[in-house]
């Protein structure tokens, strides 16, 4: 039991530090425009990796919903630049396609 608790605590610290340390170290500092531009594309590139993996590993019965959700999420990400809206819209489209056409 103690070993599991220590493992959970260690995993929590390892997960928490990379998230909070940059905020603490960069507080009040101004980043260069190039560094800021790079950091701004990380959420979209992470989402793209997950979407592409989803397309490549999708079963045949969910492939149309996956492809349509990808098209919609790409369009929303391009025109709205809102990661939350991008994710929600693609989930809604995939849900609609799976439940209406299946």
Give me the phi and psi of 81, to 5 degrees please: 50, 45
Predicted pLDDT of residue 6: 93
Interior angle at CA 76, CA 71 and CA 77, nearest 5: 100
Residues 69 and 91: beta-carbon distance below 8 Å: yes
Tens digit of pLDDT for each residue in 52-102? Answer: 888 888 888 888 998 898 899 889 988 987 888 988 998 999 999 999 886
pLDDT tens-place string over residues 4-59: 899 999 999 999 998 888 888 888 888 899 988 888 888 878 878 888 888 888 88
Domain that holds residue 82: 2-100
Q: Domain tally for the chain?
A: 1
pTM over 0.75: no
Q: Which two three-digit tokens encode residue 76?
A: 């929303």
């Amino acid at each position: 039991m103690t070993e599991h608790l220590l493992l959970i605590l260690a995993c929590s610290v390892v997960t928490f530090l990379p998230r909070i340390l940059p905020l603490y170290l960069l507080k009040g500092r101004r980043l260069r425009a190039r560094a800021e531009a790079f950091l701004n594309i990380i959420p979209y590139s992470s989402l793209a990796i997950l979407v592409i993996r989803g397309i490549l590993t999708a079963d045949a019965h969910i492939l149309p919903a996956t492809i349509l959700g990808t098209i919609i999420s790409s369009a929303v990400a391009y025109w709205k630049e809102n990661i939350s809206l991008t994710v929600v819209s693609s989930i809604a489209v995939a849900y609609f396609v799976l439940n209406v056409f299946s």
